[in-house]
Amino acid sequence: MLSFIKSKQACTGCGACQAVCPTECITLDIDEEGFWYPNAGSACIDCGRCEEVCPIVNRVPVDDTKQYCVAGRHNNTDVWLASTSGGAFSAICQAFENPAIAIFGAKHLDKSNVIHDFVTNINDIDCFRKSKYSQSNMSGNYCSIRRFLEEGRRVIFSGTPCQVAGVRNFLNKDYDNLLCIDLICHGVGSPGIFDKYINYLEGANDSEVVSFEFRSKRIVKGLLNQNITRTKFVDGRILENKNDIFYQAFIQALILRPSCGECIFAKTDRVGDLTIGDLNNMQAFLPESDKCVNYSTIIVNTEKGDTIMKKLNEYMDLYPVDLDAIAKYNSALISSTQMNQKRADLFVDLRHGYPINEVLEKYITEVS
């Protein structure tokens, strides 16, 4: 790790330090839990820029003077179906659209690697839809964001708050043409474990995995089930699982990055212009609502966010909601996730070489 980072809990793996290094001597190396951490090589000239840009050392200023909150659902059913919550991300992209746009988000690079990337046509944003519960790698994105902004393109950056903070510190100035969207964030899962899990699925099903999707939407007994994973195999089979063990281990905070247990971004002061997340306990806010749908929470944090919000009703059905009430049902908005007490034992078992499926099954608490 870099010398100014005192513990693994501090480093979020945002990669801003790597992007700013003038000698390009920082590598992001995978540790035994499957998360990457920055290390400086022998070409380091001790310039200190990595420390300056690190959002853990230098906090990003937040402007929440305009803060208010709405619940919303995309008015195009196909877009809603393809999205995790109510389709806020897609609607925001539509509201910010421009012939010269670049949209950055997280996508599956292949069956097991999640990366951040960009598209320059709004019709191509489908790859960013749906939450991926393995940490996305930001390498290569920082310089592209700056280049597009300097060229005068409109840029949307969407990611976890620690990634948004990395981007804002890296840019080190405000751009009128940049819109940042941060997610309400419970934490990110281990990319190393996700890779092992995909390998296990391939072995168990004797076929190569083509794609893996979290939170497919299905109607079960008249209610929306949004916790189904969907795995496609090369032989054409599709496996749908409502008790996926990777997803459960993620939800139960067994395989989250250490920094997620001490997250400095889990508060209502937000680093994005807009914050998006799930609308938990929908019935409390929209008692008349159909039980077969779900909604996004959208928090407006800045003037720029407010400008976009004014155009959002073209694409979404929107309902004002109280931010304090939202926080009451969505703890990730105000406090960092408490790590599962069995997390350390799980990683010890993995170090001893026990199979990934047996280890995950051993530590997750069964859900009905």
Interactions with ligand SF4, residue window 2-31 (CB under 6 A): 2, 5, 11-17, 21-23, 25-26
Which of residues 72, 86, 87, 187 is near ligand SF4 by CB under 6 A? Answer: 187
Which residue, 90 or 177, has its beta carbon nearer to ligand FAD? 90
Positions that interact with ligand FAD (CB under 6 A): 83-90, 105-106, 114, 128-133, 136, 158-160, 183-186, 188, 276-278, 296, 330, 332
Name which of 72 and 166 has its Cβ closer to ligand SF4. 166
DSSP secondary structure, 315-358, as one string: TEEEEEE-HHHHHHH-GGGTSPPPPPTTHHHHHHHHHTT--HHH
Residues between 117 and 136 with contacts to ligand SF4, criterion CB under 6 A: none
**Angle at alpha carbon of residue 304, lines to 57 and 14, rounded to 5°:** 30
Nearer to ligand SF4, 260 or 312 (CB): 260
The site partner of 21 among ligand FAD, ligand SF4, none (C-beta below 5 to 8 Å per kind) is ligand SF4
Provide, rounded to whole angstroms, the least separation between the CB of residue 10 and ligand FAD. 19
Closest to 275 measured CA to CA, from 182, 140, 365: 182
Q: Applying CB under 6 A, does 167 fall inside the site for ligand SF4?
A: no
Going by C-alpha positions, the residue among 231, 202, 206, 205 that lies closest to residue 216 is 231
State in angstroms the smallest separation of the CB of 305 from ligand FAD. 14
Q: Check binding of 79 to ligand SF4 (CB under 6 A).
A: no
Partner interacting with residue 14 (select from ligand FAD, ligand SF4, none; CB below 5-8 Å by kind): ligand SF4
Residues 77, 24 contacting (CB under 8 angstroms): no
Choose, by CB under 6 A, the member of 32, 42, 46, 65 that binds ligand SF4: 46
Using CB under 6 A as the binding rule, whether residue 106 contacts ligand SF4 is answered as no
Q: Do 215 and 86 contact (CB within 8 A), yes or no?
A: no
CB 154 within 8 A of CB 100: yes
- Nearer CB in complex with ligand SF4: 131/307: 131
Q: Tell which positions 209-268 bind ligand SF4, by CB under 6 A.
A: 257, 259-260, 263, 265
132 binds, among ligand SF4, ligand FAD, none (CB under 5 to 8 A by kind): ligand FAD
> Binding partner of residue 17 among ligand SF4, ligand FAD, none, CB under 5 to 8 Å per kind?
ligand SF4
32 binds, among ligand FAD, ligand SF4, none (CB under 5 to 8 A by kind): none
Sequence-ordered list of residues with C-beta below 8 angstroms from that of 313, at least 6 positions apart, any chain: none
Terminal Cα distance for the chain, rounded: 41
Taking CB under 6 A as the binding criterion, the range among 46-54, 79-87, 96-104, 216-224 that sits at the site for ligand SF4 is 46-54
Contact 69/320 with Cβ under 8 angstroms? yes
How far apart (Å, rounded) are the C-alpha atoms in residues 125 and 153?
17
55 in Cβ contact with 165 (< 8 Å): yes
Exposed, middle or buried: residue 341 (CB in 10 Å: 0-12, 13-18, 19+)? Answer: exposed
Q: How far apart, in whole angstroms, are the C-alpha atoms of residue 355 and residue 347? A: 12
Q: CA-CA distance, 66 to 202, in Å (whole number)?
A: 49
Closest CA to 182 of 310, 62, 10: 62
Alpha-carbon gap, residue 166 to 103, rounded angstroms: 17
Among ligand SF4, ligand FAD, none, partner that 114 touches (CB below 5 to 8 angstroms by kind): ligand FAD
CA–CA separation, 259 and 274 (whole Å): 23
Return the residue matching tokens 């059905």: 317
Nearer of residues 128 and 315 to ligand FAD, judged by Cβ: 128
Contact between 334 and ligand SF4 (CB under 6 A)? no
Q: Which is nearer to ligand FAD, 7 or 281 (CB)?
A: 281
**Judged by CB, which is closer to ligand SF4: 265, or 315?**
265
The separation between CA 291 and the C-alpha centre of its own chain, rounded to angstroms, equals: 26
Footprint on this chain of ligand SF4 (rule: CB under 6 A): 2, 5, 11-17, 21-23, 25-26, 38, 40, 44-50, 53-54, 56, 160-162, 166, 185, 187-188, 257, 259-260, 263, 265
